[in-house]
A and B are shown apart, each in its own frame.
Chain A
């Protein structure tokens, strides 16, 4: 088990290392001189040279890379000259918004898949609905769905707020503890704020969840079908256990294992924020920050976000791999037998 975890940690480190090279190289390849972007076109050559020295851009490329990597892991992700704040501060202030939305979307996608997949095995009409939904979910672009939902549920029927971010303009943010408005509102006991937060979360979360839900429910459904054909399922039924209990107690956990990896990937993707959905809903998250930074050519921020999402991916995959080993006795006990 220790060896298993050790090898996963090593391969994760290799992945982060690779991603850091990509982020670093892409930044160097972009057209335009970063120094000129900061000091402006009209600044003197001397001012530009001074800035170049400050940024360490006069050093050889390998030295720059080593410097970049070490400062990333020290938590120094550079300084955003367009906002006038360290990138770290900027991202930390944006991350909770993205993470809260991503987590809500994940719960919808994953919870929906876990509930609907077994139902679709037993009930024909649920299966028809699930198949239709998953077909749509894999085909419909999220931003288009977002606009559609806004037109119908916000503009037409006023059931949900429009694209105004995490709260209504008249609601003030709950005292900052975790940065998750739902948690903060609940802790501080302001239920009106909690309700407003949830109302604002629903539409973007549904848009964000739709495609991953479609993917997960298809996967889980086909895994369930496969497990249902296993001889041990008939054995369980022959003990006098009902069809439904057999499905939930035996088929679902067995079908769940191969779904876990996919669920981890989905979670990693959702947590670091969605560029499109955050833009449509004016959600003040990391995705929106990326868009702003690209528009303002603030590449230091983009670079940091790229590396950050790579780290998130790798960490969550590592957690999935290790938990896989804990959940599946065949992996945990290290047997070659199936």
Chain B
């Protein structure tokens, strides 16, 4: 795709300063901290982060599916210019599953165990299309064929427990695509599956998304999947997006030290150095009591306990590159970005 063109197109989904909190016995946990980003039509955006970094909460917040004790406190979610947070529950029902669909992490628990697969497809179709049950049922069989379920006309009568994990995830995809959404949010769609099934599911997702022209937000902790699937990446840490960049830029020149550490901790085949796998020291901070300054400071290899990192929240910095814009939140972002650019120029010259 042409990134220059994509950059100028109006975003289909734009999230502004979204903040989601959960009230627990241990205090208020801010799972999503003023997150902003934009998604353009047909874009494939990866959101990467460790468990507990707020990725799933972000996905549910976009669709207004956060359940008490959680709640979206502030911010905007604009879909085609309309602020979803200002809509009533009734109006939101028309968006969910129709314009924006979700695919969930664990296919084993994502389907109602006592309803036939066909009924669960019919429910998705009939929620948005004014068609008869039998018509919706036939459409359900077609959808199962599209997600490559063998003997779809027979298997449509089965119950979820008669399907394997991979097949259930195919059903989830069929449900998510039932109404040709513009945006597909896939929350760890392959995490619960074995590696070969993962690859098949991703291929399927990619093919169907391209066929239907849907934009995809792929939420994962797996950088390998992002590299295969996405055209741009956002890295989430402690409820914030700490870096956002076009795919290649992020992989070749990570600006934020957390991104760099994440990339280093990916195991690679045939790497010449033999030794223990790199891991980021420490643990993600508790979202109930975040550090005053940079949330990554206690684990950062760069700051080294500098006062500015401990005391002040890092500024948002943004640069425009030919491949697209690069954003980061790090006190040293400017230096690091400039370093990369000079390296690039030297390599070019």
Q: Is A190 an interface residue (CB 8 A)?
A: no
B58 to chain A, nearest CB (A): 14
Residue of B nearest to A242 (CB): B93
Q: In whole angstroms, what is the CA distance A232 to B105 when docked?
A: 11
Q: Which of B122-130, B314-322, B339-347 contacts A (4 or more CB under 8 A)?
A: B122-130
Fill in one digit per residue for B115-136: 1 if any A CB lies within 8 Å of its CB, else 0: 1100000011001100000000
User: Does the CB pair B97–A330 fall under 8 Å?
Assistant: no
Main secondary structure of the interface of A (DSSP, over half): helix
Residues of A within 8 A of B105 (CB): 231
Say whether, besides A329-B159, A333-B162, A240 and B112 are in contact (CB < 8 Å).
no
- Give the residue of B60, B124, B162 whose beta carbon is less than 8 angstroms from that of A239: B124
- Give the residue of A236, A238, A257 whose beta carbon is less than 8 angstroms from that of B112: A236
B104 to chain A, nearest CB (A): 6
Fill in one digit per residue for A228-247: 1 if any B CB lies within 8 Å of its CB, else 0: 00111011111111110000
Q: In whole angstroms, what is the CA distance A236 to B120 when docked?
A: 8
Fill in one digit per residue for B148-159: 1 if any A CB lies within 8 Å of its CB, else 0: 000000000001
Residue of A nearest to B60 (CB): A234
Q: In whole angstroms, what is the CA distance A249 to B97 when docked?
A: 17
Fill in one digit per residue for A304-338: 1 if any B CB lies within 8 Å of its CB, else 0: 00000000000000000000000111100101011
Residues of A within 8 A of B114 (CB): 253-254, 257, 327-330
Q: Is A250 an interface residue (CB 8 A)?
A: yes
Say whether, besides A250-B115, A254-B114, A238 and B109 are in contact (CB < 8 Å).
no
Main secondary structure of the interface of B (DSSP, over half): loop
Q: In whole angstroms, what is the CA distance A338 to B110 when docked?
A: 13
User: Does the CB pair B113–A254 fall under 8 Å?
Assistant: yes
Q: In whole angstroms, what is the CA distance A335 to B160 when docked?
A: 11
Residue of A nearest to B63 (CB): A238
Residues of A within 8 A of B202 (CB): none
Say whether, besides A239-B127, A335-B161, A232 and B98 are in contact (CB < 8 Å).
no
User: Does the CB pair A239–B110 fall under 8 Å?
Assistant: no
Q: Is B101 an interface residue (CB 8 A)?
A: yes
Count residues of chain B with CB under 8 A from any CB of chain A.
35
User: Does the CB pair B113–A240 fall under 8 Å?
Assistant: no
User: Does the CB pair A232–B162 fall under 8 Å?
Assistant: no
Residues of B within 8 A of A333 (CB): 159, 161-162
Residue of A nearest to B96 (CB): A240
Residues of B within 8 A of A241 (CB): 93, 97, 123, 127
Residues of B within 8 A of A238 (CB): 63, 65, 96-97, 101-102, 104
User: Does the CB pair A231–B110 fall under 8 Å?
Assistant: yes
Q: Is B82 an interface residue (CB 8 A)?
A: no
With most chain A CB atoms within 10 A of its CB, the pick from B60, B114, B124, B178 is B114
With most chain A CB atoms within 10 A of its CB, the pick from B65, B95, B97, B111 is B97
User: Does the CB pair B112–A242 fall under 8 Å?
Assistant: no
Residues of B within 8 A of A239 (CB): 96-97, 123-124, 127, 175, 178
Fill in one digit per residue for A113-128: 1 if any B CB lies within 8 Å of its CB, else 0: 0000000000000000
User: Does the CB pair A231–B115 fall under 8 Å?
Assistant: no
User: Does the CB pair A240–B162 fall under 8 Å?
Assistant: no
Say whether, besides A239-B97, A240-B94, A230 and B109 are in contact (CB < 8 Å).
yes
Q: Is B7 an interface residue (CB 8 A)?
A: no
- Give the residue of A234, A237, A329 whose beta carbon is less than 8 angstroms from that of B161: A329
B122 to chain A, nearest CB (A): 11
A106 to chain B, nearest CB (A): 24
Q: In whole angstroms, what is the CA distance A254 to B114 when docked?
A: 7
User: Does the CB pair A254–B97 fall under 8 Å?
Assistant: no
- Give the residue of B89, B98, B102, B128 whose beta carbon is less than 8 angstroms from that of A243: B89
User: Does the CB pair A237–B65 fall under 8 Å?
Assistant: yes
Fill in one digit per residue for B31-65: 1 if any A CB lies within 8 Å of its CB, else 0: 00000000000000000000000000000100101
Name A's B-contacting residues (CB within 8 A). Answer: 230-232, 234-243, 249-250, 253-254, 257, 327-330, 333, 335, 337-338
Return 14 A-B CB contacts under 8 Å, by A number. Answer: A235-B110, A236-B123, A237-B96, A238-B101, A238-B102, A239-B178, A240-B96, A240-B127, A242-B93, A250-B112, A327-B114, A328-B114, A329-B161, A333-B162
Apart from A231-B110, A237-B65, A330-B114, list 16 A-B contacts with CB within 8 A. A232-B109, A232-B110, A232-B112, A234-B67, A235-B110, A236-B123, A238-B97, A238-B102, A238-B104, A239-B97, A239-B124, A329-B113, A330-B159, A333-B161, A333-B162, A338-B161
